[in-house]
Amino acid sequence: MQTLRINEIFYSLQGESRTVGLPTVFIRLTGCPLRCHYCDTEYAFYKGEEQSLDAILAQVNQYDTSYVTVTGGEPLAQKACLDLLSQLCDQDYQVSLETSGALDISGVDQRVSKVMDLKTPDSGESDKNLWDNLDYLNPHDQLKFVICSLEDYEWAKTMLDVYALTERCELLFSPIHGELSPQDLAEWILEDQLAVRFQLQLHKYLWNDEAGR
């Protein structure tokens, strides 16, 4: 019987990405190999309990929503995550995967919308970016940059050009909450006429910095 170590399963509004604001079931897996300085889910590094895939699906089915997000931590750190994603798709959920970009995404079910980070220098983990992952991004996927500073922004702009990212998928630029003025980032994007989506983390404003709800 396949199991996953689950930190929590909860129902909330999606706080970011293309489906922001939509009621969503979140499945948060335990564990992450990265330690970004701005991480807001450190409690998911270690805490969790083993659950069967059937038990996880039964909990998800309790909620009347079409949207499910598998997140972490880093969900791909557990191999059975790939089977969970496929089984969720088989049940006709619209499934998104939030992943750091440090682990191989090639095995992710093509029906899943991948929301993948490219870690910026100020994250402290940019050396962990697995650049080959860019080859597995599809038009329905999203690539996210968490911007901490002007230097991060300039780095992200360079990556857009070097890897022709606007041709691969939708791009998300998000200011780090409490460190970078959202207005500054918005003005930089407009000044440079970047083909990216500016986003704020809705849950940070609704629930006082709680990580998902």
Would you state the pLDDT for residue 124?
A: 94
> Which residue has 């129902």 as its token pair?
11
Would you state the pLDDT for residue 209?
A: 56
pLDDT tens for residues 154-164?
A: 999 999 999 99
pLDDT tens for residues 94-123?
A: 999 999 999 999 999 999 999 999 999 999
* The CATH number of the domain covering residues in 3-206: 3.20.20.70
Question: Quick one: tokens of 198?
Answer: 């500016």
Give burial (CB, 10 Å; 0-12/13-18/19+) of 144.
buried
Would you state the pLDDT for residue 57?
A: 97
81: enclosing H helix or E strand: helix 81-90
Would you state the pLDDT for residue 85?
A: 98
Cis peptide before 48 (omega within 30 of 0): no
**Nearest by Cα to 134 from 166, 158, 175, 174:** 166
Q: Can you list the residues of the chain whose pLDDT is less than 70?
A: 208-213
Given a contact cutoff of 8 angstroms between Cβ atoms, the answer to whether 88 and 99 are in contact is: no
Indicate the domain borders of the chain: 3-206
Given a contact cutoff of 8 angstroms between Cβ atoms, the answer to whether 66 and 25 are in contact is: no
**Nearest by Cα to 73 from 109, 36, 108:** 36
**Nearest by Cα to 26 from 115, 108, 109:** 115
